[in-house]
């Protein structure tokens, strides 16, 4: 029976996820990590699948098909060919990888059917095909070029093509492993002491503290870059095809010493490496974009893949004017592959047409996860005997705005959980962007993370051009723009002379908590139609202060996934120095809460 339900799944590498469509519309989507509380959980997404089916009120027997986001046998072939080419080097890595392949990854249809008690079709898309589908189908563009860039799928590491309603997505060109923009960036992530497939955004955040002194060396020694943006890596410097590390001793000699040990002090070398590889990636992305525009003639570009989360590169691409506009899938990494696989199967396997009337609204602000209403929240609070007050909407927004104005840091838990790596105002920690102490306080006392990491501004969409050098919507926090020149502060010689992390002590604008050291900000525009409650809160703050901007960071501590449930939110609230927690219409004050059995004891997570 054709029910119109397609379940998409991504699993077994990092950021496993599930997404469910009904008649081409997104019913639900979520990462497995949010339910298991294991960051970047790669395991089969049983809990995310269960949530999606429950959200739709169906059982697995009602699914028309299950779509998996890549082709495991093709990927396994790449693995074998790579190990054979490197033999005998890489034996340890080969022996470490094989058990999981032989036990799970080659038997995905069986895994799916067993986990779901499902006996219907299991269909496989190509990895970059799933990324491309996730980029174009939810975009607002009728016709567009498509660019996907990541570490590696089966063999592809970057691809481009075109998309239109009558043809769907057609990929026309690919780069292949081991020559990979994502793995190049991850090699520098590893070498500078951060965690691969997790710490790349730290490298991006560290870049403005450094100087681009390694750019020429990277392009001379590591990367042979061509005019179309494709390149070849000098694999003499890299260990990742068959080793257990990303780089080797020759790479270390090139950069003057061994990799930085995780958690050790950052030096100017790491800052300069971060700045240099960021500029190289930007150069690659811009060359790719110019080539794609020339070859396709398309005015618009859609992007996905992990490298598409590099919001600094995205901002430069938008400002370059190569394309009239760009749209980036908010769950651009592997999690979004679950959504792309489902969309590709629905439209391109089963042949269902694209509804252009609904196309631009398909992503729904990426609020696609579970929600908890006030009855659910009240039941939790009553069961745990947690003191709270319930406020009506107008009073809630006004009181929260007053608390922000007074300097409180607030956990804000509302509506449906976000799909993708960014908190967009439903699972957020918020603060006053005008405070020069807010960034340091939130990093060290709330998030328990490195002091250099920047925070994002949430700005009312109708006021974005009053505060930032852009009038472009950025609802998914995927674009960087400079703070408006007239909002920036004039720096004296002593401030301008500061180096490295010393720059952190210098306020740079009227909203210093969200202004990076280069005067930029990774901004989220907040729209009344996609998140009316968050918009109402910031509007209340604007009415009170004249500033339509607040700090927004994800509701979690370092190494922990973003909170999913009221229980998660309360645990995070109580184990940090947040002042208040807002769960739906309930407000909790820290000084009214019962003391923890072990005060000051914080949950421990792996390094992020």
User: Mean pLDDT across the stretch 347-372?
Assistant: 96
Give the chain's mean pLDDT: 94
Q: How confident is the model at residue 604 (pLDDT cuts 50, 70, 90)?
A: low
* CA distances in angstroms from 84 to 78, 80, 99, 266, 492, listed in the order given: 10, 6, 17, 38, 59
Rounded to an integer, what is the distance from CA 565 to the centroid of its chain?
A: 20
* CA dist., res. 163 & res. 142, Å (int): 8
pLDDT band at 515 (very low <50, low <70, confident <90, very high): very high
Q: Is 74 left (phi over 0), alpha (psi -120 to 50) or beta?
A: alpha
pLDDT at res. 96: 81
Using 50, 70 and 90 to split pLDDT, how confident is the model at 600? very low
Residue 585 predicted with pLDDT over 60: yes
Instruction: Give backbone dihedrals phi and psi of 499, rounded to 5 degrees, phi first.
Output: -120, 155
Q: How confident is the model at residue 188 (pLDDT cuts 50, 70, 90)?
A: very high
- Rounded mean pLDDT of 98-107? 81
Give the pLDDT score at 598: 45
pLDDT at 505 (0 to 100): 76
Cβ neighbours around 117 below 10 Å, total: 9
Q: How confident is the model at residue 294 (pLDDT cuts 50, 70, 90)?
A: very high
Query: What distance in Å separates the CA atoms of residue 390 and residue 265, rounded to the nearest whole number?
Result: 45
Nearest alpha-carbon partner for 564 in 415, 417, 429? 417
Residue 19 has pLDDT above 50, yes or no: yes
Residues 62 and 3: their CA atoms lie apart, in Å, by 6
Half-sphere exposure of residue 146: CA atoms within 13 angstroms, side-chain side = 33
If you average pLDDT over residues 220-225, what whole number do you get?
98
Per-residue pLDDT tens digits for 226-238: 999 999 999 999 9
- For residue 474, CA distances in Å to 98, 336, 458, 477, 520 come to 42, 18, 10, 6, 14
Residue 361: partners with Cβ closer than 8 Å, 6 or more residues away: none
Cα distance between residue 562 and residue 536, in whole Å: 23
- Rounded distance, CA 370 to CA 127, Å? 26
pLDDT of res. 599: 44
Spatial strand order in the sheet of 410-413: 389-390, 586-589, 580-583, 410-413, 427-432, 549-554, 456-460, 520-526, 479-482
Does residue 87 surpass a pLDDT of 80? no
Q: What is the pLDDT of residue 46?
A: 97
Burial class (CB in 10 A: 0-12, 13-18, 19+), 356: exposed
| Average pLDDT, integer, range 155-174 | 97
d(Cα 418, Cα 282) in Å, to the nearest integer?
27
Do the bridges between strand 410-413 and strand 427-432 make them parallel or antiparallel, or are there none, so unpaired? antiparallel
- Residues 389-403: pLDDT tens digits? 999 999 999 999 999
In this prediction, residue 102 has a pLDDT band, given cuts at 50, 70 and 90, of: confident
**pTM value > 0.85:** yes
Closest CA to 180 of 145, 161, 154: 154
The answer to whether 479 touches 315, Cβ cutoff 8 Å, is yes
Backbone angles phi, psi at 562, to 5 degrees: -55, 140
pLDDT score for 522: 96
Q: Do 440 and 514 touch, CB atoms closer than 8 A? A: no
Which domains, from first to last, does the chain contain? 5-138+330-366 (3.30.420.40), 181-327 (3.30.420.40), 374-592 (3.90.870.20)
> What pLDDT is stored for residue 608 in this prediction?
64
**For residues 2-25, average pLDDT:** 93
pLDDT of 413 over the 50 cut = yes
């Amino acid at each position: 029976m054709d029910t119109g339900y397609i379940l998409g799944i991504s699993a077994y590498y990092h950021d496993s996820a599930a997404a469910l469509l009904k008649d081409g519309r997104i019913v639900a989507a979520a990462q497995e990590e949010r339910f298991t509380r294991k960051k970047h959980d790669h395991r089969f997404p049983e809990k995310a699948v269960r949530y999606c089916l429950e959200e739709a009120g169906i059982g697995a027997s009602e699914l028309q098909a299950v779509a998996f986001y890549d082709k495991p046998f093709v990927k396994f072939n790449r693995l074998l060919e790579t190990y054979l080419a490197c033999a005998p080097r890489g034996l340890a890595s080969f022996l470490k990888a094989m058990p999981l392949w032989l036990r799970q990854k080659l038997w995905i249809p069986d895994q799916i059917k067993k986990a779901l008690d499902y006996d219907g079709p299991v269909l496989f898309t190509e990895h970059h095909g799933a990324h491309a589908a996730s980029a174009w189908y939810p975009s607002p563009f009728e016709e567009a070029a498509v660019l996907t860039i990541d570490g590696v799928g089966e063999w592809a590491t970057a691809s481009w093509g075109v998309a239109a309603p009558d043809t769907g997505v057609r990929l026309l060109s690919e780069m292949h492993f081991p020559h990979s923009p994502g793995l190049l960036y991850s090699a520098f992530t590893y070498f500078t002491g951060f965690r691969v497939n997790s710490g790349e955004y730290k490298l991006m955040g560290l870049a403005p503290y450094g100087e681009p002194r390694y750019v020429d060396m990277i392009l001379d020694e590591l990367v042979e870059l061509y005019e179309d943006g494709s390149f070849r890596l000098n694999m003499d410097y890299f260990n990742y095809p068959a080793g257990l590390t990303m780089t080797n001793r020759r790479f270390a000699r090139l950069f003057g010493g061994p990799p930085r040990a995780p958690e050790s002090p950052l030096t100017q070398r790491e800052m300069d490496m971060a700045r240099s590889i960021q500029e190289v990636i930007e150069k690659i992305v811009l060359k790719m974009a110019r080539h794609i525009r020339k070859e396709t003639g398309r005015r618009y570009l859609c992007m996905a893949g992990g490298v598409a989360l590099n919001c600094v590169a995205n901002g430069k691409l938008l400002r370059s004017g190569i394309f009239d506009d760009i749209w980036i899938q908010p769950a651009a990494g592997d999690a979004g592959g679950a959504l792309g696989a489902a969309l590709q199967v629905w439209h391109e396997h089963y042949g269902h047409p694209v509804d252009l009337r609904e196309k631009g609204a398909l992503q729904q602000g990426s609020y696609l996860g579970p929600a908890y209403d006030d009855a659910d929240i009240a039941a939790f609070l009553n069961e745990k005997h947690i003191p709270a007050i319930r406020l009506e909407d107008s009073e809630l927004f006004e009181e929260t705005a007053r608390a922000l104005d007074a300097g409180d840091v607030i956990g804000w838990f509302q509506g449906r959980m976000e799909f993708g790596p960014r908190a967009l105002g439903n699972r957020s920690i918020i603060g006053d962007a005008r405070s020069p102490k807010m960034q340091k306080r939130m990093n060290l006392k709330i998030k328990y993370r490195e002091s250099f990491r920047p925070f994002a501004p949430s700005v009312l969409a109708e006021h974005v051009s009053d505060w930032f050098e852009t009038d472009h919507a950025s609802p998914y926090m995927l674009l960087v723009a400079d703070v408006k020149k007239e909002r920036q502060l004039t720096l004296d010689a002593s401030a301008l002379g500061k180096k490295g992390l010393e720059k952190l002590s210098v306020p740079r604008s009227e909203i210093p908590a969200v202004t990076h050291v280069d005067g930029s900000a990774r901004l989220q525009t907040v729209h009344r139609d996609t998140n009316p409650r968050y918009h109402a809160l910031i509007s209340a703050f604007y009415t009170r202060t004249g500033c339509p901007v607040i700090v927004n960071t994800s509701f979690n501590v370092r190494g922990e996934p973003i909170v999913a449930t009221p229980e998660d939110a309360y645990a995070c609230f109580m184990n940090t120095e947040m002042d208040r927690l807002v769960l739906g219409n309930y407000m909790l004050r820290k000084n009214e809460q019962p003391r923890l059995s072990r005060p000051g004891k914080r949950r421990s997570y792996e390094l992020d």
